[in-house]
Amino acid sequence: MMDLLGVSVTTSVSAEITGLADAEPQNTSGEGTTLHYWPSRIWRDANGNEVDKSPYGHIALQLSDRTYISYWPAGHLGPLDVGKEVEPSLHRKYFDDYDGEHQTDSETFTI
């Protein structure tokens, strides 16, 4: 059980954690769904100055038929925008999320 923004969430997941070598991963097993997870983080330049941040992290799903489901807001959100209604950025692929997360591979879980 974890407390996420004051909401208690209970979950049970059997997962295999893998690293991604390619910018366009493939779920070729024909079974299961791949959960891509980018945790919240701060990117810094060589001098340690903050250049960007992802305060909430990001998740996406890739189904066994290669359907990729990712919700990425079309506009920038700030730290006080939790719950704000925004339009999604359409037709995203893994590479779009990879690039949007400053070319950082996701942590992956097969569920």
Q: How many CB atoms within 10 Å of residue 92?
A: 16
Residue 96 pLDDT greater than 70, yes or no:
yes
- What's the CA gap between 101 and 104, in Å, rounded? 6
Q: Are 94 and 62 in contact (CB under 8 A)?
A: yes
pLDDT for 45 equals: 85
CA-CA distances (angstroms) from residue 106 to 8, 20, 58, 86, 93? 25, 7, 9, 23, 13
Token pair of 105 as six digits: 């591979």
pLDDT for 33 equals: 93
pLDDT for 16 equals: 40
Domain residue limits, the chain:
15-110
pLDDT for 29 equals: 52
Longest CA–CA span in the chain (Å) reads: 45
pLDDT tens, residue by residue, 59-86: 899 999 989 998 877 777 777 877 888 8
Task: Return phi, psi of residue 18, to 5°.
Answer: -135, 160
pLDDT tens, residue by residue, 32-59: 899 999 888 888 888 888 888 777 778 8
Specify the residue for token string 């066994």. 64
